[in-house]
Structures are given as C-alpha cells and as structure tokens.
Amino acid sequence: MKAPRQKKSKRAAAAGELAALRARVAETDATLRAIRNGEVDAVMGASSQVFTLEGAEHAYRDLIESMNEGALTLTAEKTILYANACFARMVKCPLEQVTGSSFRRFLSEADGVMLRQLMKRAAKSGSKIQMSLQLGDGSQLPVQISIRELPSNHFNQLTIGMVVTDMTAARRNEEVLRNLTHRLMEAQEEEQKRISRELHDVIAQTLTGINIRLAALKKEATLNTKGLDRNIARTQLLVEKSVGIVQEFARELRPTVLDDLGLIPALHSFAKLFSQRTRIHVDLKIFGGVEELDLTKRTVLFRVAQEALHNVARHAKAGRVEVNIQKLAAGGVGMKIKDDGKAFNVEGVLKAKGRKRLGLLGMRERVEMVGGTFGVDSTAGQGTSIQVQIPFGKVRVSLARKKC
C-alpha cells in the first residue's frame, strides 16, 4: 500500500511544480506584454529573472522618449534594461531586439574594453567618451556616450544610465571648420606673397633710388652746388612717393576711416583712390541705414567691395563699376556690385586653384560667417554681378543636430 501513496505524492509534487512554472510563464508573458504596450519599464534578463525599474512615471517616460539622444539603462554586465526609441533608430535595430540584449553587441572589441574600464571608474559625477557604434546594417555611427551611476533599485543591483549623442553633424562641422581653416591659411599665404612682392617691387626700388640720389648729392656737395637744389627736390619727391605707398598699404590692411567715421566714408575714400589708380569709374549708391549694422558686418561689406573691385581691376577690363547698398524689403541689407567688363566661368573659377578662386571663396565665407548669403552671376556681354545679403540681427552659431 506504500507504493501507490508514494506515486500519488510524486504526481502531486510534479503537478505543483508544473502549476508554479505555468504561473511564472503567465506572469512573465503579462509583464512582457506590458513592456511592449509601454505600461511598465521592465526587462527579462539572461537568467529569466524579470527586472522591473520602479519610479518610471509616465511624465518621465514621455521626456525620455521625446529626447533627440539615445537613453539607456544597463546592468553592470551591460545588459540593456531600458532603451528609448531614439536609440533603437540610431543603431537601426527593432526596439524589442535591443531591450534585454547586451550593449556589447554594438561595440568593437577595442571600444568594449575602453568602455568597460570607464564604467568601472564612473562615479556619480559621471563620465563621457567618444566612440563608434556598430549598427544593425553593418555600418558605424560616431557617438558621444555620457555615463552615470543610477541609484540602487529594489533588486539591489548596480544600474548605469547612458545618454548616447549622435556626433555625425558635429564631425561634419569639424571637417568643414578644418577645410575653412586650411583655405584661410592659403588665403593668408597668398596675401603675404602679394604684400612681399609689392614691397620688393615698389618700396625697395624706390628706396634704392633714394639711396642712389643721396650718394650723388653727397658727391655734388663736395664738388660744387650747381644742380644741387634740383636733385634735392627729386629726392624729396621719391620720399613723398614712398610715404604715399606705405600709407596705401596701411589703408589696404585696415582703413582707419572705417573705424572712426563708418562704412560710407570708408567706401567713398577707397573708391576715389581706386578710380585714380585704375581709371575705372566707381558709382556708389548707399543708404544711410547701413551704419546701423554692427562693426563686424560693416567690415564684411567693406572687404567684399574691396576684393570685388580688385578683381575688376585685375581681370574684368571694365570701364565702370556700380556699388549699390540698400535696405531689403524682407529686412537686412543688400549689396550689389556690377561691372561692365568681360564675363568669366564662375564654376570653373571656383574649381580652379590660385588667387582668383581664393578671392571668391574668401568673399563668400566672410558673408556666411555673419549669417548672410553670397552669389555671383557673370554673363557674356553683361559683365559680372556680385550680390550680398546680410541680416540686421545678431548671428546665432549652432551645430546642427540630427533628430532621431
């Protein structure tokens, strides 16, 4: 009679265990269903234990889900307890495949070692690191990861909070900045070469002439005074010419009238000297409100006009240039510089190397740095026209951020 009782006892125990397992499965299914529906924050780990993140209120969830950065909660072993939708889109994986998996799957071996060391050192003050994530489609994404230890939860396990920022736009801006700096250095080098040539060809020759005449005067003074006054007068003219050339260089580098009196007098002074030197007539039309622009923007307009007129003198073979600065109906200031000289291939010049290309790029980049727009139109028989538009307001410089 004992055998049947033992069999009944084993069957009852097995039935109890089976019922318990079914209850756990049903509980797990219900929890996972709630996770998918967004009702709770929880995850099933590799050990089949369900971790529930308490305190994740709906307002908090709405904030995290609306972020343009990826947000994660990890165990110390890098199991992802929670990930927002933005992170899933970043790594190009379905959210249900991200939650519950290991964060290591998105890291290279080297980055994994580096992140593990950083997580060990991460204190409550937080840490940041830049690396690349391995995406679901096999590509890579440059990111910045901010790491911070989170308060312990009810199951007494260390959890780590992460914010993952897409650095694609920042890297692109860095590359643009490097290219701009490189072109600026090229432009500075070209300008230094030009000034060096001018100093050698003009100033040095003039000073040499003065030295020769002074030597002749010294010799004449020991012999007789006949013709001495005439030679002294010629030497004085050479000195005056040298002073004038030096002053012209100074005005080219930075006209003091621009700082002291404003843009309109500076342009009139420059146009007058330009016409005297090149025999090209310059017609200026400027509305007084342009002086309301800040000094940086007025300097940009002056430099663009200066470079444009120099280009006309070098290449256009023009007889007349019109410089028109007016207030735009949509707000801001517009400047148009039009000559009656020969046309050129704008795209060809921009793709070429050398001074001409750097001149156009320099003008465009000056304008864009103050939030303006720059355009060039050159047509055979109609000459060349440069259009500039600059806003009145302050320029806000910001890095573009990719929205997930």
pLDDT tens-digit series, residues 362-384: 888 889 888 899 999 998 889 99
> Do both 268 and 248 map to the same domain?
no
- For residue 379, give Cα distances in angstroms to 231, 307, 338, 345: 52, 20, 11, 9
Q: Which residues pair with 385 in a beta bridge?
A: 338, 377
Average pLDDT over residues 177-194: 69
**Considering only CA atoms, which of 320, 325, 259 is closest in space to residue 290?**
325
Is 48 within a domain?
no
In a domain, 47, yes or no: no
Share of the chain above pLDDT 70, in %: 68
Which residue blocks in 138-227 are alpha helix, DSSP H? 168-198, 205-223
Query: What residue numbers bound the domain in which 101 lies?
Result: 54-166
Q: What is the mean pLDDT of residues 106-116?
A: 81
* Same domain (yes/no): 186, 147: no
Report yes or no on 218 lying in a domain.
yes
In a domain, 58, yes or no: yes
Are residue 23 and residue 89 in the same domain, yes or no? Answer: no
Q: What distance lies between CA 101 and its chain's CA centroid?
A: 36
pLDDT tier, 321 (very low <50, low <70, confident <90, very high otherwise): very high
Q: What is the pLDDT of residue 400?
A: 41
Pair (147, 271) in one structural domain: no
49 is a domain residue: no
Counting the structural domains of the chain, the total is: 4
Same domain, 111 and 199: no
Q: Which residues sit opposite 164 in a β-bridge?
A: 70, 145
User: In this predicted structure, which of 147-151, 153-157, 172-176, 184-188 has the lowest mean pLDDT?
Assistant: 153-157
Domain boundary among 166, 191, 222: 166
Residues 193 and 314 in one domain: no
Q: Let me know whether 274 and 345 are in one domain.
A: yes
pLDDT mean over 92-101: 89
Any domain includes 94? yes
- What pLDDT, on the 0 to 100 scale, is given for residue 286? 95
Both 213 and 315 in one domain: the answer is: no
pLDDT at 224: 63
**94 vs 115: CA distance, rounded Å:** 24
112 φ, ψ (degrees, to nearest 5): -60, -45
Work out the angle at residue 253's Cα, subtended by the Cα atoms of residues 209 and 241, and round it to the nearest 5 degrees.
25
What's 91's domain CATH number? 3.30.450.20
- pLDDT at position 62 is 66
CATH classification at residue 274: 3.30.565.10
Identify whether 318 is part of a domain.
yes
Tokens of 338: 């039009």
Summarised one tens digit per residue, pLDDT across range 115-153 is: 777 776 654 456 788 888 988 888 889 998 888 887 665
CA-based nearest residue to 51, from 40, 64, 60, 42: 42
Q: Is the pLDDT of residue 65 over 80?
A: no
Judge contact between 291 and 262, C-beta under 8 A. Answer: yes
Residues 212-227 pLDDT 10s: 777 777 676 666 666 6
The answer as to whether 402 is a domain residue is no
